[in-house]
Amino acid sequence: MLKTTGRAAVVLPDNVLFEGGAGETVRRKLMESCDLHTILRLPTGIFYAQGVKANVLFFDNRPAGKDVATKEVWYYDYRTNIHHTLKRKPLRLEDLREFIDSYHPANRHKRKETWDAEKNPEGRWRRYAYEELAARDKTSLDVFWLKDDSLADLDNLPEPEDLAEEIIENIEAGLASFRAVAGQLQRTN
């Protein structure tokens, strides 16, 4: 619940951007009643357990009206070809400097895309019109445009130490989840 002039940033796992049913209804309603202006796509393990990708949705509430509040959504892909680990390479403020500059907090209406199909296909900052997003299957906000180099270039894999740490983090997260489930089962029996 936001005041009429309220602003919010909400961290959500990836599946919230594309699941059907109630998820689709919530996404459609959010874009209709609020100005969903920005989505920051983050790599795995930043806010949730290793293996779970997160997004930060930025939106402003609007007074009720007949027009759709969201006109366009700006995406910053800080996920594709980005690798962080909790211990060896944690996310730091300076890692998000390009996003902050692109977001243009002083006046977000002066934003400029860094992505261009011909001039800069690797640009991480791109906008989509509301009509494009609303027309997608299930009103999916799970949009990506950058080529994942790890799928095509096996010579540029992360360092072995980083891979090993990521595997350990995945196993530890899975073990913690399993312990939580086992604890719930013990309490119910």
Residue 72 is part of a domain; what is its CATH number? 3.40.50.150
CA distance 63 to 5: 8
**CA gap 109, 181 in Å, rounded:** 46
Judge whether 1 lies within some domain.
Answer: no
pLDDT tens-place values along the chain, 189 residues long: 789 889 999 999 888 899 999 999 999 999 999 999 999 999 887 876 667 788 999 999 998 889 999 999 999 999 998 888 777 788 899 999 999 999 998 999 899 999 999 999 999 999 999 999 999 999 999 999 998 876 555 666 667 777 777 777 777 777 777 787 778 788 877
Residue 49 lies in a domain: yes
Phi/psi of residue 86, nearest 5 degrees: -70, -30
Contacts of 135 (CB under 8 A, 6+ apart): none
Domain assignment of residue 2, yes or no = no
Q: Domain tally for the chain?
A: 1
Which H, E and C letters describe 15-42, residue by residue? HHHCCCCHHHHHHHHHHHHEEEEEEEEE
32 is in which domain, residue-wise? 7-188
pTM of the model: 0.78
